[in-house]
Amino acid sequence: MNIIDIIVKKKNKQELTYEEMKYAIDGYIKGNIKDYQMSALLMAITINDMTKEETINLTKIMIESGDIIDLSSISGIKVDKHSTGGVGDKTTIVLIPLVASCGVNVAKMSGRGLGHTGGTIDKLESIEGYQVNLSKEEFISQISNIGCAVISQTNDVAKADKYLYALRDVTGTTESIPLIASSIMSKKIASGNDAIVIDVKVGNGALMKNIKEAQKLSKLMIEIGKAYNKKVVCVLTNMEQPLGQAIGNGLEIIESINTLKNIGPSDLKELIIVLGTIMVSIGKNIDEEEARKLVLYNLENNNAYSKFEQMIEAQHGNINNIKISDKYISIKSNKEGYINKIDAYKLGEIAKILGAGRFNKEDSINYKVGIVLNKKVGDKVLLNEELMKIYVDSTDINISDVINAFDIKDNVVIKQELIIDIIK
């Protein structure tokens, strides 16, 4: 077998066998296959697609490339959650303690920011002292004791994904649906949970720009789940504007705390109730109506917030010390009207320029900076009324075109639905 024949086969739109893909992936991890050869193969896959069988085989190879976490010592059905990534997406931080407060154990491994989208682990690190790296024993023991833990995805789970993802990020091959499906599902299956609820973000601020692509990705991930006897539910959600009001690490933690205290933004609340209902229904094997009542009860009675406090304390975080800048620039509207669009992608990029994200893998994060929106799509705005606050660390930052992220119309604007589709 040789890598050139494999690249040419995919270039000619032929199906690759398990052995051929294993040869390519294992060879790449070992360094026998070079970056330029794997880049060519990834590009051929991106252009010519993969069959369901090829994608399931690729997922298997990626799972086998690393550790498989054994969660069997934790009682009950374990339900995981994943998001394909968006702007202002702090869902995990609210959802995990909420679901745990309903009596479902949650073992959550999360990632860092990617491109213009933030990452749960970076956000949690804006809480002073919070430990994102626990040993497997500490992870399992914390979940058995308090019902949840959120830690950083270890490098040992689906090792091949680390290598492939870094290369995809710099070769224009991030949007391939089979590559995304195998990347997500290999990590989720190797993480050892019984069921997975996936928030598939759709829109300008997301990886999936339209509903058709998002549905295709969802159906493929459900098929991969079936091959491993794992229940997968995909919830397609709107990412045409940022989720909630805050973008940026420390600011998103404050918004998460407010949401756990039931005083957060309505779109984030709606999303955690929908996702929480599905997770609790699967985890407790009860119908969705009963699960929804339980979710609402625990949210409204401070139990979800108490669970969050327990989790932060168990992971050595100081909830009274969240890094946020005290300097901000107020951006005011230059006209009166109704908010028609808020460019999530642009605001994600601005947050990155402020320091909330990375341009290179090695960059460090500024936890204090970000954006807080005062207006969302559908809201009325007056001339000179504040649209948003930009939290900065130094004021010499160039954010002159930030106002263009808002599109303001003269007539009333109908808000888009947040939940687009649920595929089981």
Looking at beta carbons only, is 207 or 253 nearer to ligand URA? 207
Structure tokens at 416: 């888009």
Burial annotation 71-104 (CB, 10 A radius, 16+ → b, else e)? beebeeebbbbbbbbbbbbbbbbbbbbbbbbbeb
In angstroms, the CA 262 to CA 300 distance is 6
**193 binds ligand URA, rule: CB under 6 A:** no
Burial annotation 373-385 (CB, 10 A radius, 16+ → b, else e)? bbbbbebebeeee
Shortest reach from residue 199's CB to ligand URA, in Å: 11
**264 binds ligand URA, rule: CB under 6 A:** no
Residues paired with residue 148 on neighbouring β-strands, in sequence order: 106
Shortest reach from residue 111's CB to ligand URA, in Å: 7
Among 183, 241, 310, 325, binds ligand URA (CB under 6 A): 183
**180 binds ligand URA, rule: CB under 6 A:** yes
In the shown chain, the binding pattern of residues 73 to 112 toward ligand URA, with x for contact by CB under 6 A and - for none, equals -----------xx---------------------------
Give how far Cα 132 sits from Cα of 17, 126, 193, 263, 312, Å: 38, 11, 19, 27, 10
Structure tokens at 242: 């940022």
Structure tokens at 74: 């934790």
In angstroms, the CA 148 to CA 306 distance is 12
CB contact at 8 A, 116 and 348: yes
Structure tokens at 236: 């397609």
**121 binds ligand URA, rule: CB under 6 A:** no
Q: Which stretch binds ligand URA (CB under 6 A): 179-187, 229-237, 334-342, 357-365?
A: 179-187
**333 binds ligand URA, rule: CB under 6 A:** no
Q: Which stretch binds ligand URA (CB under 6 A): 121-129, 177-185, 249-257, 273-281?
A: 177-185
Shortest reach from residue 84's CB to ligand URA, in Å: 5
What is the total count of residues that contact ligand URA (CB under 6 A)? Answer: 6
Q: Which stretch binds ligand URA (CB under 6 A): 101-109, 180-188, 362-370, 393-401?
A: 180-188
**157 binds ligand URA, rule: CB under 6 A:** no
Using CB under 6 A as the criterion, which residues of the chain lie in contact with ligand URA when the complex forms?
A: 84-85, 180, 183-184, 207
